Amino acid sequence: GEDVEQSLFLSVREGDSSVINCTYTDSSSTYLYWYKQEPGAGLQLLTYIFSNMDMKQDQRLTVLLNKKDKHLSLRIADTQTGDSAIYFCAFYSSASKIIFGSGTRLSIRP
């Protein structure tokens, strides 16, 4: 079935880069997304990538897509305390709905 897998936790030092990885199942997905969820809030779209791209950069964020391996990653440069949140990988499936992973909780240590 349709699925997204992500590691549950990531801890990085403030100022370092964070890399959050996910794998997905639907090779025909058109868009892949990264959403951020802060405590008590809804999901906020961080960035997306179209499936015919392999990289997208947006300020501190870099998204890498390896379509052959169905692997998506999000790199956050110069990680700050405000980046502490849960990050969800998601893809737009062939069934015309977005499938979300379980989220990676990013914590920042001083």
Partner 1 sequence: EAGVAQSPRYKIIEKRQSVAFWCNPISGHATLYWYQQILGQGPKLLIQFQNNGVVDDSQLPKDRFSAERLKGVDSTLKIQPAKLEDSAVYLCASSFPPGLSTDTQYFGPGTRLTVL
Indicate the pairing of strand 18-24 with strand 61-66.
unpaired
Which of 21, 48, 62, 67 is close enough to bind partner 1 by CB under 8 A?
A: 48
Mark 73-92 with x for binding to partner 1 (rule: CB under 8 A) and - for no binding: ---------------x-x-x
Q: Cα separation of 88 and 99, whole Å?
A: 10
The structure tokens listed for 43 are 């999901």
Location of structure tokens 């015309």: 96
Among 43, 23, 32, CA closest to 86 = 43
**Is residue 30 involved in binding partner 1 (CB under 8 A)?**
yes
Mapping DSSP to helix (H, G, I), strand (E, B) and coil, where does residue 60 land?
coil
CB of 43 or CB of 64, closer to partner 1? 43
**Is residue 60 involved in binding partner 1 (CB under 8 A)?**
no
**Is residue 100 involved in binding partner 1 (CB under 8 A)?**
yes
Which of 7, 11, 45, 78 is close enough to bind partner 1 by CB under 8 A?
A: 45
Mapping DSSP to helix (H, G, I), strand (E, B) and coil, where does residue 99 land?
strand
Residues that bind partner 1 (CB under 8 A): 4, 30-31, 33, 35, 40-45, 48, 50, 88, 90, 92, 95-98, 100-103
